[in-house]
Amino acid sequence: MAMSVARVRSASLDDPFAVHMAPPAGETSDQRTRRLAAAQHAEKTSRQIDEVLLAGKRLLDKKRQDVKILLLGQSESGKSTVLKNFRLRFTPQYFDGERAAWRTVVLLNLISSVRTIVDAIHAELAAPEFTLVSAVHRQRCDALVPLLAQEGAITALLAPISAVAPPGGEITVRPGGAWKVLLAESDAAKHTADVAAALCDEVETLWGDAAVRELLQKRDISLRDAGGYFLDDIARVTDPGYVPTDADILRARIKTLGVEEHFFEKEGAPGTRGVKDFWIYDVPGSRGSRAVWISFFDQVQAIVFLTPLSFYEVLEEDTRVNRLEDSVVLWKEVCANALLAHVQIILFFNKMDILKAKLRAGLIVKEYVPSFGDRENSYAGATAYFKEKFRAYHKRTSPKPRSFFYYETTAVDTRSTAKIIGAVHEEIFRKHLHESILI
């Protein structure tokens, strides 16, 4: 008796689980088969979890070593558009799966332009002595009500995953792919396409109306300069068989609140042999959401800083602040930041197509920037002047000397931007490689 107690005790001390793992007394062969299958399944699941955790850790370790690029700049400077250019250049295969979602975004952008026109007409009709529009225009606006209503339908559809937007404000979504799935496959999105196709002629008539154009000019509304401009393509984008082109996707605008992280796997596309894996962070640029920027400062090797030369505009979120002045303040802060002392900073003067068009239309730089003085009021004159300003701030505020990289870009032009993206990528990796060798 004493012997058997000692034996059990020693077995359980050697292997405390043995007692629990032992088959139950009187187990039938069926029960045994089921028990073993369950144990096998549990072991497989546990192995799978371990693998996922390990893969996550490996990815994290790898991410630490991979090059990371941060896109910075005020809201609407073109950060998300530049990210799309990187995706088009290095991982174009993913674009095809997203075209249906972008179709809905294009239509939303079109509807937003139509709303601006309709609002302007209503405001004019409400004015005591309206002259430019008439009751006919009111009827045309009424006919477009079902199209405008689709904005509300899509906002409702996106509500569970959208970031809070003011009523009537721009549709804003959270980062990630959820909005793309909803906009590609929902009934509301399909209905939007049907309504747009049915009202295509109405929209075209309104947009083609000389009085409407005059009214917009009078009210200083420039739809062409706003993001997501598709009014010149009404018939094409409302066609039932419409599939957005790369250029359309680049021009389409949907505001994301939060940080988009994109991983670029090497050799994703033809012509990208030798490309190493890298990451891009696209952060929101409006004043209220810049606090998140700093959390990336100690992780990134390069920053692409975007600024349009929009000295003639104010910030949407704070109309007391001139857009270019805001960019200059940000630029100085980024250049001076001690955490970024080793980071390569690349400056993009973006939306150069708009500056060119404005200057052609008679914009006088000196009227907005007195220090511009009597320099040549041309594209070359203006860009050279501002380039020197940005270069000087870069030199003066950088904690230690570093090279000044600068490009003039039109991020909605895929072809010219692809070349610049290629050059920027090469430059970043050249520096990274150089530093890895030194380490």
Ligand X SMILES: Nc1nc2c(ncn2[C@@H]2O[C@H](COP(=O)(O)OP(=O)(O)OP(=O)(O)O)[C@@H](O)[C@H]2O)c(=O)[nH]1
Residue ranges in contact with ligand X by CB under 6 A: 73, 75-81, 227-228, 251, 253, 255, 284-286, 350-351, 353-354, 410-412
Residue 244 contact among Mg ion, ligand X, none, beta carbon within 5 to 8 Å by kind: none
Smallest distance from Mg ion to CB 268, Å? 22
Is 79 annotated among the ligand-binding residues?
A: yes
Is 254 annotated among the ligand-binding residues?
A: yes
Interface size with Mg ion, residues (CB under 5 A):
2
Is 260 annotated among the ligand-binding residues?
A: no
Residue sitting closest to ligand X (CB): 227
To 5 degrees, how large is the angle CA 165–CA 322–CA 312? 105
Smallest distance from ligand X to CB 326, Å? 12
Nearer CB in complex with Mg ion: 117/280: 280
Smallest distance from ligand X to CB 291, Å? 14
Nearer CB in complex with ligand X: 209/405: 405
Q: Report which secondary-structure segment, H or E, holds 116.
A: helix 99-126
Q: Collect all residues with Cβ–Cβ distance below 8 Å to 378 and sequence separation of at least 6.
A: 359
Smallest distance from Mg ion to CB 80, Å? 3
Nearer CB in complex with ligand X: 133/234: 234
Nearer CB in complex with ligand X: 132/173: 173
- Coil, strand, or helix at residue 278? strand
Nearer CB in complex with ligand X: 222/286: 286
Structure tokens at 71: 């896109």
Q: Which of 73, 69, 90 is nearest to 431 (CA)?
A: 69
Is 112 annotated among the ligand-binding residues?
A: no
Smallest distance from ligand X to CB 251, Å? 4
CA distance 332 to 58: 37
Q: Which of 307, 306, 304, 309 is nearest to 383 (CA)?
A: 309
**Are the C-beta atoms of residues 421 and 86 closer than 8 Å to each other?**
yes
Nearer CB in complex with Mg ion: 238/409: 409
Smallest distance from ligand X to CB 221, Å? 16
Side-chain half-sphere exposure of 404, counting CA atoms within 13 A: 14
Is 252 annotated among the ligand-binding residues?
A: yes
- Coil, strand, or helix at residue 176? coil
Structure tokens at 259: 């940080």
**Are the C-beta atoms of residues 348 and 82 closer than 8 Å to each other?**
yes
Give, as one character, the DSSP assignment of residue 282: E
Residue 382 contact among ligand X, Mg ion, none, beta carbon within 5 to 8 Å by kind: none
Smallest distance from ligand X to CB 197, Å? 23
Residues 79-108 that bind Mg ion (CB under 5 A): 79-80
Q: Which of 184, 175, 183 is nearest to 156 (CA)?
A: 183
Structure tokens at 261: 């992280």
Type of residue found at 389? K
Nearer CB in complex with ligand X: 225/277: 225
**Quick one: how far is CA 31 from the chain centroid?**
56
Residue 412 contact among ligand X, Mg ion, none, beta carbon within 5 to 8 Å by kind: ligand X
Residues 63-82 that bind Mg ion (CB under 5 A): 79-80
**Are the C-beta atoms of residues 305 and 347 closer than 8 Å to each other?**
yes
Is 352 annotated among the ligand-binding residues?
A: yes
List of residues contacting Mg ion (CB under 5 A): 79-80
Feature table: binding site for Mg(2+):
80, 256
Feature table: binding site for GTP:
76-81, 250-256, 350-353, 411
Feature table: binding site:
76-81, 250-256, 350-353, 411
